[in-house]
Amino acid sequence: MEANTATMKVWNERWHLASLSSTEMIHIGLFSVIIGLVYLLFHLQGNTTQVEVYSHSAFSWMRTYWDSEANLHGGADYSHGYLIPFVVLGVLWLRRHDLAAAPKAVCKWGLAVVVLALLLHWLGAKAQQTRISLLGLMLFAWGLPFYLHGWQVAKILIFPCAYLIFCIPLNFLDQVSHPLRMFAAWASVGILNGLGIEAERSGSAIYSTAAGGFNFDVADPCSGIRSLLAMAALTAVYAYLTQKTFIKKWILFICALPLAVIGNMARVATIGLVAQAFGEELAVTLYHDYSGFVVFGVAIVCMVGIGSLLNKNYKEAWHQWKLANLSPISSSSA
């Protein structure tokens, strides 16, 4: 009986808190030591690329990309990285009851994931690819609970841990910057002409054919990469929280690309509208600087609309339509 009591939570009347058993305190202590060692590993030996600029810390390397306004680092394309950990903590808080109720047992497969994560970090350090090391850290964050608590806990943690990938600067996406610029210019010219504003395109430049009209260029910052990355992160968590099936979650997430493109098209087209109505100077200065709200406003409205369509019970809607429209006909025929 005493042994069982030692492992039970006891209410502390003095502090009005539940006291932890000695076993739980040991587990928490060991887990804290492991987390601390991993932090030191990635902080002291996490980066081997331009150490004099970024230091040895993988976290400092990543934060530099989030902060940088220089084109060398992608501008503010990765500034949403600061928000990702808070989103992950929010998701974990929402799933806290599921995590507490999940059956827990040590799983050796989780240890294999931990080893693979450390190997990825080693490979990233040897290849001077900090992104690979950070992928290893993300995998480690999933593998350690997998090892200590088993698959049922790990299954709940798949999305929160995978979501951390939006913290990592993905510079290979810069390759699609030029095609996105061309497409945004082409589509915006079509929208403007459709609204009765005569405009033509020359490369990524858009100009009015009317005398004294506007003339502006869809530059790299206006390509839509920034909105694409941010919309992908936003759509991912929105799909995870609102969609009922795995397939619907992925369908909505894949829509992040066209949603970002549609939002950017609306931005560029409205710059042309403002230029036509109020002059080029206002359009390419004040309105341009704040027109990012147009991108996300249009994209978010479309995202919510698509999510609602995916969640709609079409079978029930068809049944209700038949009751409302076909039953009277059948009754009158009778």
Q: Please state the domain extents for the chain.
A: 45-169, 174-319
Best mean pLDDT range from 36-45, 63-72, 210-219, 285-294: 36-45
Q: What angle do CA 58, 94, 108 make, to 5 degrees?
A: 60
Alpha carbon separation from 95 to 48, 156, 210, 237 (Å, rounded)? 36, 8, 58, 13
Please tell me the distance from the alpha carbon of residue 130 to that of residue 114, in angstroms, as a whole number.
Answer: 18
**Can you point out the beta strands (E) in 93-198?**
none
The pLDDT, as a whole number, for residue 72 is: 45
The pLDDT, as a whole number, for residue 16 is: 55
Q: H/E element holding 10?
A: strand 10-12
* Count of residues in the chain: 334
- Note the pLDDT tens digit of each residue in 7-39: 445 555 555 555 666 776 777 788 788 888 888
Q: What percent of the chain has pLDDT over 90?
A: 29
- Nearest CA-CA partner of 286 in 271, 305, 301: 271
Alpha carbon separation from 204 to 100, 162, 181, 215, 238 (Å, rounded)? 54, 35, 6, 11, 33
- Note the pLDDT tens digit of each residue in 58-108: 888 888 888 755 444 444 567 788 899 999 999 999 999 999 899 988 889
